[in-house]
Amino acid sequence: MYTKTLNLSIILALIVVILGAYARLADAGLGCPDWPGCYGQLLVPDVVSSEYERPLDIAKAWKEMVHRYAASTLGLAIIVIFIFAALGKTERAQSIRVPAALLLLVGFQGALGMWTVTELVHPGIVTMHLLGGFSTTTLIFWLLLNQRKPIQLNQDISKRDKIILVVVTVLLAFQIFLGGWTSTNYAALSCGEYFPSCLDQMWPDNMDFENAFYWGPLGIDYEFGVLENPARSAIQMVHRVGALVITGALIGLAFAYKNYTMLRNNIFIILLLLSIQVGLGIINVVMSLPMFAAIMHNAVALGLLLSLISLTHKVFKNHKTA
């Protein structure tokens, strides 16, 4: 039951991340101006009282509430995971520390979901909420990998290559943050439909890097963004530079691991997802952020992270055969 719950939870986590991206891209984050209900109801109402300043948009409200329902179901599943681990009801030995960290994380994630609404989609809070969703999925995936039969590697992994893997994973996590910051500040289209240039310039001279990563005050409405376009274009260009860096880093990782025969499938998946991700990033710019491509850009970023986590698990949790 523990492993089955983990399998269900990883599917739920993926759904929650995708629904979260959809709600964000559809500008539905404030579809319900209160939390955890919607205009004081557990279901989206047909009419609302005059005490709410924000008018009801039923389509946006349902997008937000479906996301909340899925996230709540995932939270319940994570509680069950923790209980199973605490009672020792796991197929393979599992420390209580990771399930406990997962439980604490999902509690904090719930608080971030609430603050996303009450603080009117503050970019910093929404970005942390996105990173929390990725982190939750990663921890569930790690627990699931722990329950699989260990793979006996037939080659030693050098210390240098282990360090490379850790560094690349950290770089990818930072690039995911940059992507979240770009999205939550509505900066994805700040360079227009130009690629690789920005506003028809390779490096616009009016970009405002000073305010690009400004943590604005709480209590004001951040829907559709508050930054001027020079700051938004600076965010977009930093994200593009980050994309170049992580692309080079992942290709370098592939070269470093090319001689480890038992890890070639992992490297192939990483390079395949990287190719898809680069293509989606270009499509998002030149086609002005089509919804499907934008959601998939978010989902493939998570897939890339999980593929690196899978490789990390093999490298650090398995042992060379005698």
Return the amino acid letter for 103.
L
Confidence at residue 319, expressed as pLDDT on a 0 to 100 scale: 56
Tokens read off for 134: 């990725």
pLDDT of residue 283: 97
Averaged pLDDT for residues 277-296:
97
Taking the C-alpha atoms of residue 61 and residue 64, their distance in angstroms, rounded to an integer, is: 5
pLDDT at 320 over 80: no
Q: What is the pLDDT of residues 119-171, one digit of tens each?
A: 999 999 999 999 999 999 999 999 999 998 877 788 889 999 999 999 999 99
Give a three-class secondary structure readout of 163-217: HHHHHHHHHHHHHHHHHHHHHHCCCCCCCCCCCCCECCECCCCCCCCCCCCCCCC
pLDDT tens readout for residues 186-201 = 999 999 999 999 999 9
Residue-wise pLDDT for 250-286, tens only, equals 999 999 999 999 999 999 999 999 999 999 999 999 9
Q: How far apart are CA 2 and CA 172, in angstroms?
A: 30
Exactly one of 51, 64, 193, 228 is catalytic; which is it?
64
Mean pLDDT, residues 8-25: 97
d(CA 251, CA 230): 32
- pLDDT at 142 (0 to 100): 96
Which pair of tokens denotes residue 139? Answer: 């921890």
User: To which residue do tokens 């503050």 refer?
Assistant: 122
The predicted structure's pLDDT at residue 20: 96
Higher pLDDT, 173 or 219: 173
Please give the structure tokens belonging to residue 162.
């282990």
Instruction: Give strand pairing partners of 9.
Output: none
Give yes or no for a contact between 298 and 17, defined as CB atoms under 8 angstroms apart. yes
Are the beta carbons of 21 and 295 closer than 8 angstroms?
yes
- Compute the C-alpha angle 120/124/127, nearest 5°: 100
Backbone dihedral region for residue 271 (phi beyond 0: left; psi -120 to 50: alpha; all else: beta): alpha
- Our answer to whether residue 64 is catalytic in this structure is yes
Residue type, 204: P
Residue 322: band (very low, low, confident or very high) from pLDDT cuts 50, 70, 90: very low
Q: Which is more confident, 320 or 115?
A: 115
- pLDDT-derived band at 94 (thresholds 50, 70, 90) equals confident
For the chain, the C-alpha Rg in angstroms (whole number) is 21
Average pLDDT of the residues of the chain:
95
Q: How far apart are CA 57 and CA 61, in angstroms?
A: 6
The rounded distance, in Å, linking the Cα atoms of 176 and 129 is: 12
Within 10 A of 196 (CB to CB), how many other CB atoms are there?
10
Rounded to 5 degrees, φ, ψ at 200 are: 65, 20
267 residue type, one letter: I
